[in-house]
Amino acid sequence: MTKDREVIKVEVPRQLAERFRRYVAERYGLRRGSISRAIVDLIERELGVGDGDTVDPIVGLGLESDYQWRGEDLVDALKRRAHVRD
C-alpha cells in the first residue's frame, strides 16, 4: 500500500455485499483492485470530487448525440462511432 492510500474497513449486510460484487464484476471486470476502484468512484461521485475517469463521460456523450441505441453495448458503440468521425 502506498502512503497516499488508507484502509477503511466496513461491515455491510451479506446480501448487499453479494449484489455489490456482481455490480463490480459487470462494470469493472474481475481484475485485482476492482472493488477498491468501484468504492473510490462511488465515494468521489457522492462527494462531487475526483478525476472523472469513469464511463460516465462516455454515457453523457451518448445522451447528447443523435445515436439511436438498439440494445447493443452502448460504450462499445459510442467508441466505434467516435473513431468513425475522427
Residue 86 confidence (pLDDT) above 50: no
Give the pLDDT confidence score for residue 48 in this predicted structure. Answer: 81
Looking at the fold, whether 29 and 65 belong to one and the same domain comes out as no
Looking at the fold, whether 46 and 62 belong to one and the same domain comes out as no
Looking at the fold, whether 41 and 82 belong to one and the same domain comes out as no
In terms of pTM, does the model score above 0.75? no
Range of the structural domain that residue 83 is part of: 55-86
Looking at the fold, whether 39 and 79 belong to one and the same domain comes out as no
Q: Is 63 helix (H, G, I), strand (E, B) or coil?
A: helix
Question: Residue 25: which pLDDT band, with cuts at 50, 70 and 90?
Answer: very high
Closest to 83 in 3D by CA, of 51, 64, 56, 58:
58
Looking at the fold, whether 27 and 60 belong to one and the same domain comes out as no
Closest to 73 in 3D by CA, of 58, 54, 57:
58
Judge residue 62's burial from the number of C-beta atoms within 10 Å of its C-beta, 0-12 exposed, 13-18 middle, 19 or more buried: middle
Looking at the fold, whether 43 and 2 belong to one and the same domain comes out as yes
